[in-house]
Structure 1
């Protein structure tokens, strides 16, 4: 499979009366875009588009999703089973607007899996999104049945975000890209002899799929991954929109759709493919609730790896807590099969850093990469501008903030300053590989 992504670099984004791209300036017809999105889903009651730039003294909360605007040159939809009919992913030509993202924001209401982005100041260092121009789609819906629930599907707004990314992406269709990324994934059984002496390496992805109630989990080709069993897929499918983010997972631990589209760890695998190792693809697994479900998935991952002839594996999970059980079990069963594993995840050591980092530990998980401690506290001053609703941090059960603490008070203070756990930065631990965090001994 061969996927080509032509990159068009955006210097600035403006709202106007037409859709255009001239001299690096992306202009979006705001009225037309809003009318289109409301027509597609009559559950949307209120919608606005606001632009946030890197360095702005702006706080965005509650952030629901981020997506990269793209267009498929052959006319297929960007996210099969979501923005259009089911179509194959993983090959063909795309164009992508780089340097910006669609950022979906709740105008009033937040949820457990929603988070915070700071565009400037000390808070900007906590997320990759502060480096991008955020095209914020700020909205509300009539989904009253989940209004006061801590856990929300946010269906209408998430779907609107994906449609909006596709709407913007179409502006790139006739543009000349500045550069091109090419990802070729040859059939595993038809590779040249030069690779046969290289070690075979696979990456095991464990996207969020814990919620047995449907509508909260990541979707693969529009299919709720709670219903999913592990399988082998091409890494180019992931870059090409086969999977989108769900609404359930502590915010800093999530993989947003933007991260699936640009998964840095997978890109790194391509970088040395055929040179240092033979990249044999992705074993797409899941995260479960019951122990028999966890064991079933681990067994299937093991057997797929053995049948592919995998010599080494990377295992990475979306989340922490209950998913740590799947994450560690998968590593142990591969190690028992003679396949050494490197694990990538964040950890939950508590606010003092003294807790057990993973819910389950095993001596065989001896090569772990940490992307950060979800419990670490951050205190920041007010920002001049808030996009969304700061009160959601206190009211709506977001994963790293609270309405009352006898020592710390509430997360969003009356003066606009905040105190919260790392948990609340939207995709802030960037387990997909964007993280700029490092470690030091003290």
Structure 2
């Protein structure tokens, strides 16, 4: 399986008469772009606003991030979701790098929504402050969700995917500036030299704790809550097979943008044939009851041992209850003689002194922390608000409370509510150190 990702580096985003890309400038015909958004009758009002790094801009409630892309070799983006179901991971995809489409609520937020500051101390908490953000700011007629703490945000998330594909189409016939090539051969076709290297699997535990469909991450359009751990090519993930869900505190979320740019996968592919034999990805779910957690951990062990893995990297999306899934899988792999490195955030309280994970194990002795969800933040006012600042305190954002928003526009909140602040996909530089 060979995937080519043609890159177009976006240095500026402006509005104009024609959606196009030229000399690093992405021009958007707003009227035409909004027609794509309004294809969903649930979206009743929408606008597109540009947020640039370094600006005094605060964005909230942020629901999703999608990289503008277009499949140029006859395939589709987001299979089984916004497009027909077919396999991805091969052929060529063009990507507008350095930019993302953000789904932002015009009014209503919720527990799973986040905040992005484009400058100041808050910008250091999330990688999305470093991108040119094309904000789809919209309201929907999904009145049944307005007073729900958990929101599916389906209309806005699907709208962001359609908008990202529309924007990506402007480079479908252009020659990319550079190309990333990802090759993942079937195990039986690998050379003897590669087979001698230690086999490594990447175990990605996707958020799937909601029993009702529509909240969880999806694989080829299938709710992860309804699957068992599955072996996949890394190319499939880098080409859009996984779509982010709308459940969990926002800081722990792995956005759809981060799935197709998963730096852990890219690093493992880069070491393949040099230091390791990268066997592939085991996609796993995160469960509610203990028996389901144990079953998934057993599936992960069986797949990893059948593949001949000697090492594994486990990434957990979320924290709290999912910590037990994380530790169970960690223990099963270690018991099978597979050396494990874990990637997860932690919940150590504002003083950093609490137990970092709900469940612990002596075998889990190699863990990379991506941050403390309880980190207390005091952020200065911003000149521009994209969305609605009141949503942070009014609508149950996991990092905010009733008094989070001050009269002068400054805010006090926990890292929990910063969009993708401590995702475990390897796409950011933040961590926690012991000293």
Distance 1:311 1:349, change over 3 A: same
Distance 1:56 1:184 in 2: 39
Equivalence for 1:204: 203
Measured against aligned partners, the alpha-carbon deviations of 1:230-288 in whole angstroms (never above 9, x if no partner) come to 11000000000001100001100000000001000110101111110100000111100
- Which one of 413, 428, 434 corresponds to residue 435 of structure 1? 428
SS, match of residue 285 in structure 1? strand
Measured against aligned partners, the alpha-carbon deviations of 1:70-128 in whole angstroms (never above 9, x if no partner) come to 11112432100112110111111011000100011000011111101000122211111
Deviation, 1:437, is: 2.0
SS, match of residue 397 in structure 1? coil
Equivalence for 1:375: 374
Structure 2 gaps, min length 5: none
Verify the 8 A CA contact 1:58 1:383 in the aligned structure 2: yes
Verify the 8 A CA contact 1:77 1:83 in the aligned structure 2: no
Distance 1:122 1:203 in 2: 33
SS, match of residue 169 in structure 1? helix
Equivalence for 1:246: 245
Distance 2:325 2:431 in 1: 25
Equivalence for 2:359: 360
Is 2:71 the partner of 1:72? Answer: yes
Is 2:298 the partner of 1:305? Answer: no
Distance 1:293 1:440 in 2: 33
SS, match of residue 383 in structure 1? coil
Deviation, 1:18, is: 1.1
Deviation, 1:198, is: 0.7
Verify the 8 A CA contact 1:80 1:222 in the aligned structure 2: yes
Distance 2:186 2:347 in 1: 39
Aligned pairs for 1:153-302 (under 5 A) are 153-302=152-301
Deviation, 1:295, is: 0.8
* TM-score normalised by structure 2 residue count: 0.99
Distance 1:355 1:396 in 2: 27
Distance 1:441 1:231 in 2: 35
Verify the 8 A CA contact 2:317 2:423 in the aligned structure 1: no
Equivalence for 1:406: none
Distance 1:435 1:79 in 2: 24
Deviation, 1:174, is: 1.3
Equivalence for 2:5: 5
Distance 1:424 1:7, change over 3 A: same
Distance 1:345 1:357 in 2: 10
Distance 1:90 1:345 in 2: 26
SS, match of residue 97 in structure 1? strand
SS, match of residue 268 in structure 1? helix
Deviation, 1:226, is: 0.8
Larger mean CA deviation between 14-23 and 177-186 belongs to 14-23
* Runs of 4+ more than 4 Å apart: 438-442
SS, match of residue 173 in structure 2? coil
Is 2:14 the partner of 1:14? Answer: yes
Structure 1 gaps, min length 5: 404-409
Deviation, 1:440, is: 4.5
Distance 2:252 2:396 in 1: 16
SS, match of residue 258 in structure 1? helix
Aligned pairs for 1:15-94 (under 5 A) are 15-38=15-38, 40-94=39-93
Distance 1:207 1:89 in 2: 19
Verify the 8 A CA contact 1:62 1:115 in the aligned structure 2: yes
SS, match of residue 176 in structure 2? coil
Measured against aligned partners, the alpha-carbon deviations of 1:306-341 in whole angstroms (never above 9, x if no partner) come to 100000101111000110010010000111111111
Larger mean CA deviation between 5-14 and 29-38 belongs to 29-38
Equivalence for 2:117: 118
Is 2:95 the partner of 1:96? Answer: yes
SS, match of residue 27 in structure 2? strand
Verify the 8 A CA contact 2:76 2:88 in the aligned structure 1: no
Deviation, 1:36, is: 2.2
Distance 1:3 1:340 in 2: 29
Measured against aligned partners, the alpha-carbon deviations of 1:6-50 in whole angstroms (never above 9, x if no partner) come to 000111011122111122111111011112221x21000110000
Distance 1:74 1:439 in 2: 42
SS, match of residue 314 in structure 2? strand
Larger mean CA deviation between 280-289 and 425-434 belongs to 425-434
Distance 1:312 1:440 in 2: 24
Deviation, 1:438, is: 4.2
* TM-score normalised by structure 1 residue count: 0.97
Verify the 8 A CA contact 2:75 2:88 in the aligned structure 1: no
Distance 1:12 1:52 in 2: 11
Distance 1:184 1:97 in 2: 21
Verify the 8 A CA contact 1:20 1:27 in the aligned structure 2: yes
